[in-house]
Chain A
């Protein structure tokens, strides 16, 4: 069955780069969100078993999304995709419950590694 996946980034180019980097054999039902509010709406609709989350966005940023998810059940795997690669940014999102931090520009191998590690995709 297709896995509901939401990708969250205000940049359409960045979303395209991410979609292209997803493992091709991974069967997903894709939702795109342009900011944190849209991401939370998608999550509440059950469209985000896995969420790829940018940090710097208007309306509601990635950190705020993670904080809000913590207040709700947080029944999702959140992978942060960020251009800000400082160790402190990575620590902070992990503390907020993200399972992984992948730097931009994203590589398929980086995503495949995380999906495999968490048993989300068994072979890629």
Chain B
């Protein structure tokens, strides 16, 4: 299934960027949610997980692919899972794994058998779901809003990031992108969690962030 935001909506010439306070609040909210996800991942892997500083960008539709490519910076083949979220905010979360992601995870989790293709997919779906679920739940809790999310599906299997993004047919005029990454030092495991919020959600989120800041 492709990302399906209305492409025929009149494209706004520009979306008002977030104020410094709004950006700062969003950064902190994502940071808190990412910390919880990193902790969940560390517990199942039994390893320390290094967390990145969240990157948040407002991109126009045509720049989305370029912006994501710059954040993920992986020219090799990747696999990725995707989940949609909805209710007060609407968008997509994608977890991008390196080609060796499933094998690295299996090693870290102490699997002693070689995984076949379907077992690898299962593992990526499970770990991706854990990260997305924890981050989305964390964001919703901190902002005191309701978000629900779909079951994960595999959207890329050993393909290039560009191919995945093109196949996803990003079709909105603006998107708010958030990227965080999780690294297990010493074994080369790294995955990126990307959150895409569609244009109508950008303003909704602005209101939610203002309310959040009024409360602190």
Let me know if B211 is at the binding interface, CB within 8 A. no
Stretch from A38-46, A79-87, A110-118 at the B interface = A79-87
Let me know if B119 is at the binding interface, CB within 8 A. no
**Contact among B28, B39, B48 with A11 in the assembled complex (CB-CB below 8 Å):** B28
Which bracket fits the contact residues of B? 20 to 34
Bitwise, A82-94 to B at CB < 8 A (1) or not (0) is 1111111100000
Stretch from A13-21, A22-30, A64-72 at the B interface = A13-21
- On whether the beta carbons of A16 and B38 are closer than 8 Å, the reply is no
- Give the residues in chain B near A83, CB-CB below 8 Å: 31-32, 34-36
With A86-B38, A86-B39, A86-B42 as known contacts, state yes or no: A17 contacts B48, CB within 8 Å.
no
- Give the residues in chain A near B42, CB-CB below 8 Å: 86-88
- Give the residues in chain B near A85, CB-CB below 8 Å: 35-36, 39
The residue in A16, A20, A86, A103 that gathers the most chain B C-beta atoms within 10 A of its C-beta is A86
Let me know if B115 is at the binding interface, CB within 8 A. no
Nearest B residue to A87, CB-CB: B42
Let me know if B49 is at the binding interface, CB within 8 A. yes
Which bracket fits the contact residues of A? 10 to 19
Stretch from B19-27, B69-77, B90-98, B192-200 at the A interface = B19-27
Let me know if A12 is at the binding interface, CB within 8 A. yes
With A86-B38, A88-B42, A88-B48 as known contacts, state yes or no: A56 contacts B32, CB within 8 Å.
no
- Give the residues in chain A near B21, CB-CB below 8 Å: 12-13
Nearest B residue to A20, CB-CB: B216
Distance between Cα atoms of A17 and B213 in the complex (Å): 9
- The chain A residues found within 8 Å of chain B, CB to CB, are 11-14, 16-17, 20, 56, 82-89, 103-105
30 contacts across the A-B interface (CB closer than 8 A): A11-B24, A11-B31, A12-B21, A12-B24, A13-B28, A13-B216, A14-B28, A16-B213, A17-B28, A20-B216, A56-B51, A56-B53, A83-B35, A83-B36, A84-B35, A84-B38, A84-B39, A84-B51, A85-B35, A85-B36, A85-B39, A86-B38, A86-B42, A86-B48, A88-B42, A88-B48, A89-B48, A103-B35, A104-B32, A105-B32
